[in-house]
Structure 1
Amino acid sequence: MEGVCVLYLKDRFDSCEVVPIRFNEIAAADKNLTQRERRSLQVGSHNVALISVLRDRVMPNMIYVIGTVHLIWQRTECQLWQMHHVLREMEQLKQKYEKIPTGGKDEPALVSLVLAGDFNSDAGSPPIRYALSGTPPPGSDVMNYWKLPEEENSSGCEEAGSPPLSPSDTTSEAAGVRHIGSKRRRYRITDTVGHSISFTDSYATYREQHPWHVSTVNPSSNGEGGVLDHILVEEKHVVCTSVMRLSGRTELPTKEYPSDHYPVGVIILPRSSLK
């Protein structure tokens, strides 16, 4: 059993809605998945997400859609599938609460999104890039039904400079090119998994502005010490003013630090409060 949670101060925020994302149930209902893909998604861990909608009691027109995740380990196509369902739900909640009256004043609802948790991915990975841009990176490993054929060349009509493909090239796939028999089939990722929301990596942005205030982490050879937890913020209505400094340790876990993940944290404020 594992889980994720969102903790908040009850004297500062009102809970408007809690939306659990049950990946196992979603995978069972997704008829577009192959049996193998469905099995790879229905696992006993690394497959939970939760979204909480909070209204600021001090600034009632400020609404926060907070998502937290624990994504599958080392399977890009599964991570992107999970991210798609989280992003879609957050996108729908944002649209919903932007239309809800905020109370006494004629102020529009300002809905901000925060997505945090254990992504089991570094900052430059496809899942993080997906959240930052709203679109899966071209050439990423994705589920079969996300792929749309773009063009097809036989071995006798390859692009200039490309060696002919042999019939043994039956299963190799990379950079948006699938080799089947002696043919090269290019694919693009369907637009139906794109999203109108886009996040900012709080640590990356803060490091650009204050390079001496955030330490870097050098992962050890087996991956321990890497930063796999991230805090992503949609910064239209809020701004990150500070981040928790990353530890300089590279070998985790230890007796003093029993987790194999570095803790991360940020402070965000409404932009209107900084004027």
Structure 2
Amino acid sequence: MSTIHPTAIVADGACLDPSVSVGPYAVIGAQVVIGPGTSVGAHCVIEGRTTIGADNRIAPFASLGGPPQDKKYAGEPTRLVIGQRNTIREFCTFNLGTAQDRGVTRIGDDNWIMAYVHIAHDCVVGDQTILANNATLAGHVQVADQAIIGGLTGVHQFVKVGAHAMAGFASHVTQDVPPFMLVAGNPLALHGLNLEGLRRRGFTAARVAGIKQMHRLLYREGLTLEAACEALAQLPASHPEAASDVALMRDFLGTSTRGIVRARG
């Protein structure tokens, strides 16, 4: 049987695995699905068409699956989907998607999401990210795998943050952040590569050398973005170990809609 505190309210229709635990005064809506091993802390509210996977840890006072903060929302059957093994700390707010976009807000697996983080409608958060206290993602934001968003940082709507990138404390992220880069400030500026993050993730010296060359082409050679992209295409010939990293960068640049941060700090 699920471990559900007697003061919690679980609506008829909610589907909770028998191993789910629900703390005091939590409220679970009728269309919520929660997978095995997940724990829901005291006073949490989980509502809407929300699906939560296995082994998540949801701290007290989180609010998940509420309506999007979008005046156009008219009660459409949109969703929130959360993967597995995420840590979601106190007072986090994750909203449903909207009919104007993909209709789903999606959080992947193994993310570390600290207190007071807001993830707005239609965001996509990958796997193994870190969102520090009070990080705020506006609508339609994409945060790729293993990216880090610093505390008190706001990310503008429709911005993309690439894999392994890092946005520092209290930054104003209004442009796309390419993979592997370190940005900070208001106005936002590049401050080099997220080298410490790459080291911790076991990137080899050869891969890092290739990533450094990408940084050089994009930011230190005085090239236009178009010329830098052409030079990137030739990079795997001299840095074959970084071929997949180059492909990741080229794909990101090819799908950027807000333009990448180009200013240097």
TM (norm. structure 2) is: 0.26
Q: Which has the higher contact order (CA 8 A, sep 6+)?
A: 1
More helix per residue: 1
